[in-house]
Chain A
Amino acid sequence: MSIENQTFTEKYDLLGCIQCGRCTGGCPVTVRAELNVRHFVDQAYDEGKLDELARLAEIWDCTACHTCAVRCPKGLKPLEVLIGLRSMIVESGKVEPTVRDALQSVLLEGNPWEKARAARTDWMEGLDVKVAEEGQEVENLIFTCCTIAYDPRVQVVAKNMVKLLNQAGIDYAFLPEDESCCGSEVFTIGEEGLFEMLVEDNTEYLNNFNAGRIVTLSPHCYTTYKTHFPDIRIPLYHYTQLLDELVQEGSLSWKGELQKKIVYHDPCYLGKQGGIYDEPRRLLKSIPGVELLEFDRRRERSLCCEGGGGKMWIESQSTEERLADTRIKDARELGADIVAAACPFCVLTLEDAMKGLGYEEEMRVAEITELLGELIEA
């Protein structure tokens, strides 16, 4: 049976659902929005109802955190039903202008931030950084990510990676400016055609490099490539795996210490979706002086920051407290000095929440590479 002939029910395996409700029961968004994902899975059997369902505003509240998929006893991905409904809206062109512009920017410039492709590697200016050439043999090929490449707040992730990799003295090269968006947000927004194009183009582009492995700086790119790009021939790593390896083998060590209580926030795309929980924690523990705290909601139960699922371009109608605010309050209650994350979106949403709550003077939100980068300069 070809994919084109699949019905909505077949595509999302709706008949596999037993309506147990574990998806909605665990969905973090339910505390602030109307979204009931179980209900959508139930109603979507009826093809005649799909249009009506797709018009409900709450389908855009899903952050694609995958909690529902992790909890589903039948191994289904309830969130993808919502993505399927979003696709219908995207197909009809009735999306928010901000979403439309982000998608168009991916198509034209290879990034969702409406930035010129030519400016993608501007962050490298003044740095001693190795850039890959096509066909070049390199052990670690670094995939930067659109957000890290363009957003000045998280460009520090890439800049610190350069410092860390130079320090470790390993064979690496960053992808040049023709690196294109991994499509993580394109997929969750539901632009199926554009996503298919990215899968095809990026697979061909990346396979052209003679690399030992591809190391992504963002967990969104890591998980998206792992899940949806079956034909990438080069093994995929997230940077926390690489740095952890370098610390374990003694290629990286820290000067000075950090007498701080750090709580680690598991990014949904790295933990629940990527299965990487221990490497970031080992990295933080390797810093002398650090006391590592744990959230109650951690690892596969980690509370989503609401940065994914296209939420950077579409606002919830809810005026209830943002999950990032809840997270920061939890961290403060634990007595954490630093909330550490290994994802650009988590850093942006959590830092915004911290500032909004007025905790700027007493707390800090940091990407792990920021903390490590400071420790090789000390």
Chain B
Amino acid sequence: MGKILVLAEHRQGVLRDISYEMMAIAPKLAEEMGAELETLLIGSGMDEMAKELSGYGAKVNVIDDPVFENFNAEKYQKALSALIDNMKPAVLIAPHTAQGVDFMPSLAVEKKLPLVAEAIDLTYEDSTLKATRTMYSGKVNATVAFKPADTCLVTIREGAVEAPEPAAAGDVEKIESPLKEDLSYRQFVEYIEAEVGDVDITQSEILVAVGRGLKEDKNLPDIEELAMAIKADIAGSRAATDAGWIPHDRQVGTSGKTVKPKLYLALGISGAFQHVAGMKGAKTVVAVNKDPEAPIFNVADYAIVDDMFKVVPALKEKLKEMKG
């Protein structure tokens, strides 16, 4: 029944990861629905990308027109609106990215169609399309059902699933741009590449943070080794960044960054209120400090009262043992 249309996203001539990730969810849904799966690419000079996307076996519809040289939400919405009328897809899947969120909600309003934003999975049960979304910072998954509609709109969260390997080659069909009028409310001005910065510790899953207890920077390589072994990024307290051991953009605390890793290993950090305020979102806190009265232990899930220079080698040894 019907058609599932997946809108791929690209930037600077390259398909974005989310375009592949959606191909982990859409084929499964197509099978459950007994629907035909097709993808959609909108841009200018799209031959290479269309070929790449066709590797997933689904037919690729390409709108290749200079008018789409740069992303413009207004133009995308107009084009998609016309395509929904022409192709009548049962489901239109788009990325939940800065681009996707710029046109999907207004498209839903324009066409009076239901939209589920930032889904991580889609299923078809009892003749109903259902989407899974996370709630409460990922603690709970909610399943929501679409009300019956000619076309259901969904945006998919980035990085929610792993992209599958390409399978059989599919067809590529160029379709004419449905955009007839000249739209000029929004103009593309300039593409600015984000500066290639250091690690963004606010996004780190595991952090090893050092404090004044590090004593001197020659002790840092040992800690870096430990961090590497557990795939962690290094951060520090204000004392550690002041001393120049850790770069300033890796300072945790009220005057630095607020972090929320799954694991926060605090080494030689006393845990001043201003530091703790920056890491209280960490799911699990392991603290190592010589001073049993150190306030860091008030927020630690696991407390090791000992010299960090004894604990770190022991941890490294244990890790080697577990891996070996």
Contacts and interface: CB of A to CB of B under 8 A. Distances in A.
Interface of A: 97-98, 101-102, 113-114, 150-153, 311-315, 317, 319, 322, 348, 352, 355-356
Contacts of A153: 272-273, 295
Nearest to B239: A356
B13 interface: no
Given A311-B255, A313-B254, A315-B256, A356 B242 contact: yes
A314 B255 contact: yes
Interface stretch (B38-46, B100-108, B139-147, B243-251): B243-251
Contacts of A356: 212, 239, 242-243
Contact of A315 (B212, B248, B295): B248
Indicate the size class of the contact surface on chain B. Answer: 20 to 34
Interface in B223-244: 238-239, 242-244
Contacts of A97: 258
A312 B255 contact: yes
B239 A113 contact: no
Contacts of B277: 113-114
B212 A355 contact: yes
Contact of B272 (A311, A322, A352): A352
Given A98-B257, A152-B273, A348-B274, 18 more contacts: A97-B258, A98-B254, A98-B256, A98-B278, A101-B258, A113-B254, A113-B273, A150-B273, A153-B272, A312-B255, A315-B238, A315-B248, A315-B255, A317-B248, A319-B244, A319-B248, A322-B242, A356-B242
Contacts of B258: 97-98, 101
A322 B244 CA distance: 13
Contacts of A313: 254-255
A369 to B, nearest CB: 18
Nearest to A317: B248
A144 to B, nearest CB: 15
B239 A355 contact: yes
A378 to B, nearest CB: 22
Nearest to B273: A151
A101 to B, nearest CB: 7
Contacts of A319: 244, 248
Given A98-B258, A152-B295, A315-B248, A352 B273 contact: no
20 contacts: A98-B258, A98-B278, A113-B254, A113-B277, A114-B277, A151-B273, A151-B274, A153-B295, A311-B255, A312-B254, A312-B255, A313-B254, A314-B255, A315-B248, A315-B256, A317-B248, A319-B248, A348-B272, A356-B242, A356-B243
A317 B248 CA distance: 9
Nearest to A115: B277
B276 to A, nearest CB: 9
Q: Which of B242, B248, B295 has the most CB of A within 10 A?
A: B242
A214 to B, nearest CB: 25
Contacts of B256: 98, 315
Contacts of B257: 98
A97 B281 CA distance: 15
Contacts of A152: 273, 295, 298
A229 B253 CA distance: 31
B255 A352 contact: no
A102 B278 CA distance: 11
9 tightest A-B contacts by CB?
A151-B273, A315-B255, A313-B254, A356-B239, A312-B254, A313-B255, A98-B254, A152-B295, A314-B255
A233 B190 CA distance: 57
Contacts of A317: 248
Nearest to B278: A98
Interface in B262-316: 270, 272-274, 277-278, 295, 298
Given A113-B277, A152-B295, A315-B248, A352 B254 contact: no
Contacts of A113: 254, 273, 277
Nearest to B238: A352
B19 to A, nearest CB: 30
A319 B247 CA distance: 11
Contacts of A352: 238-239, 272
A161 to B, nearest CB: 19
Q: Which of B242, B273, B295, B298 has the most CB of A within 10 A?
A: B273
Contacts of A314: 255
B142 to A, nearest CB: 25
Contacts of A102: 254
A43 to B, nearest CB: 27
A319 B212 CA distance: 17
A39 B272 CA distance: 37
A314 B278 CA distance: 12
A325 B239 CA distance: 12
Contacts of B254: 98, 102, 113, 312-313
A356 B251 CA distance: 15
Contacts of B255: 98, 311-315
